[in-house]
Amino acid sequence: MHKRLLLSVLLSLGFVASQAQNLVSITPLDTITKVSLNFLANGLAKYDVASYKITYQTPDVDGNTSIASGLMAVPLVACDSIALTLYCHGTVLERNDVPSRNNLESILGKIGAARGYVVAMPDYLGLGDSPGLHPYLHAETQATASLDLMRAIRQALADSISGYPLNSEVFLTGYSQGGHAAMATAKYIQDENLESEFNVVATAPASGPYNLAGSQSTVFLYDQPYSNPGYVVYLLLGMNEAYGQSLFNSPSEILKAPYDVLIPPYFNGNYPMDSVNSKLPANVSGYIEDSILQAFIADSVNQTYWLWNILNENTNYDWRPDMPVRMYYCTADEQVNFQNALDAEAAMLANGATDVKAFSKGPFNHGGCVAPAVEGAVRFFDSLTTSCTAFVGLDAWAANSYELYPNPFRDEIRIEGINGEASIRMLDINGRLVYQKEVFGSTRLKVAHLPKGIYLVEIVEASRVSRMRVLKEF
């Protein structure tokens, strides 16, 4: 996915949070209307959405403080209580094909925001603004990058962006690699006793390789043709990065000629995964050194070989979640064996979990499974949340009784639906009053002088107070 299908109005405004713990900067990106989202969201979107790039600090693979980036998406509606949702993205090789760059997959997280959630979308280590090679499928750093982004977002909403009163609810989801990352994050929260900080109401990963040392290892064990051989090389190179270059010293130790020389340059962050897939044979025996495969197969019982060790250490299906878990999968998935979800369901129930279910979304391939799986997660979260079920100072009828357009605006804002005397105020993202006007009936606000950015329009008419967000794009 390398092309944006929807309007992206990039804002250059950025500002630094001076009293941040791990928040480094917030940069407003754009807004997208619910009408545009619903071209892809099958009617799920209820609100327009604004997006911000978040830069923050998080540990690297060695535990040292590093820089990472991600996207925050917020609904353009004034709710009196709002939940925080994590959406973890799928496999990408190109450094800038990530949520903070408004890539196509970021729309999946924006659909969550359009339902009334604040959504966090981490880029992960080694992608976006984070230096180095991405430690692909490394469970711990996927989790820590996700948690630190959520911490940074909480800070941004508390210090810099008013109007989003977070409640205690946290929801976790993701697709493909993101399913593995969401599961890793849920497990990490429990393992590290972080439940008081992250009250996970529910987790809903989709099409994730949770059982790396089981269902997903058949690619190595049985030398079956695989649709994305580049993922295998990504796993090996990324895990070597995660484990301090201790697994092998050179790609020539794991890759046959000519792939040991041909393939590694494509992992510099500038190429899409298709560039790698097109240059590799479909079977691992065609590009992985025979000695690696033979040692792996010979040790399939004891599993002490280094490749078994890294798969087992980053497998995250065999534990007992205390929160409700729904796993969505499709039976014709050519990239992630759907047995991963069934393995996880069986193991979690055997471990004593009481609310875990795996759901088939049909006979779809990996790409075809995205829409039904994401919709399943959204519906599941909606059944449990109190997010955005009430509005600030007004009921739902009052919120819908005014029409503000255009949004985004340039020179003026037209407001329809005012029936009598009303007071209108506009506040910037820091809560400062930037415009005020007394009106009678529908009106136009001449606001060409305002700098580009996101504003809150407050309309006070009789005993009703309505608040809506708008974007100045030029």
pLDDT tens string 371-392 = 999 999 999 999 999 998 866 5
What does the alpha-carbon distance between residue 286 and residue 232 come to, in Å, rounded to a whole number? 12
Q: Residue 294 burial by CB count (10 A; 0-12/13-18/19+): exposed, middle or buried? A: exposed
Q: Which residue has the higher pLDDT, 417 or 5?
A: 417
For 321-463, list the strands marked E by DSSP: 325-329, 356-360, 403-405, 412-416, 421-427, 433-440, 443-446, 453-461
Structure-token pair, residue 371: 């829409």
DSSP code per residue over 430-459:
TS-EEEEEEEESSEEEE-TTSPSEEEEEEE
- Domains of the chain, by residue range, sit at 15-212+314-382, 216-312, 396-472
Number of H helices, E strands in the chain: 13, 17
Q: Which residue has the higher pLDDT, 44 or 181?
A: 181
Give CATH for domain 216-312. 1.10.260.160
The count of residues in the chain is 474
Task: Give the mean model confidence (pLDDT) for residues 423-440.
Answer: 84
Q: Which residue in the block uniquely carries the two structure tokens 């940074």? A: 152
Q: How far is CA 367 from the centre of its chain?
A: 17
Contact 120, 84 (CB under 8 A): yes
pLDDT averaged over the chain? 90
So what's the pLDDT on residue 310? 97
So what's the pLDDT on residue 12? 30
Cα→Cα distances 448→32, 50, 369, 456, Å: 21, 20, 45, 16
So what's the pLDDT on residue 430? 62
For residue 230, give every residue at least 6 positions away whose Cβ sits within 8 Å of its Cβ, in sequence order, or none: 93, 273, 276, 277, 280
Q: How far is CA 66 from the centre of its chain?
A: 19
Going by pLDDT thresholds of 50, 70 and 90, the confidence category of residue 10 is very low
Q: CA angle, 456 as apex, 454 and 461 as ends, to 5°?
A: 155
Task: Give the mean model confidence (pLDDT) for residues 281-299.
Answer: 97
- Segment 403-431, tens digit of pLDDT: 888 888 889 999 988 888 988 988 876 66
Q: Which residue in the block uniquely carries the two structure tokens 């209820």? A: 46
So what's the pLDDT on residue 454? 78
Task: Give the mean model confidence (pLDDT) for residues 138-160.
Answer: 95
Q: CA-CA-CA-CA torsion for 217, 223, 225, 226, nearest 10 degrees? A: 30
Task: Give the mean model confidence (pLDDT) for residues 314-321.
Answer: 98
Q: Which residue has the higher pLDDT, 432 or 269?
A: 269
So what's the pLDDT on residue 315? 97
Q: Of 16-25, 31-40, 94-103, 415-424, where does the model show the most confidence?
A: 94-103
Going by pLDDT thresholds of 50, 70 and 90, the confidence category of residue 456 is confident
- Segment 187-225, tens digit of pLDDT: 999 999 999 999 999 999 999 999 999 999 999 999 999
Cis peptide before 258 (omega within 30 of 0): yes
- The class level of CATH for 15-212+314-382 reads alpha beta
Neighbours of 349 (CB within 10 A): 14
Q: Which residue has the higher pLDDT, 183 or 419?
A: 183
Fold of 396-472: Immunoglobulin-like (2.60.40)
Paired sense of beta strands 23-32 and 49-59, if any: antiparallel
Run of H or E residues at 290: helix 290-298
Task: Give the mean model confidence (pLDDT) for residues 239-261.
Answer: 97
Structure-token pair, residue 155: 């800070």
Neighbours of 340 (CB within 10 A): 28
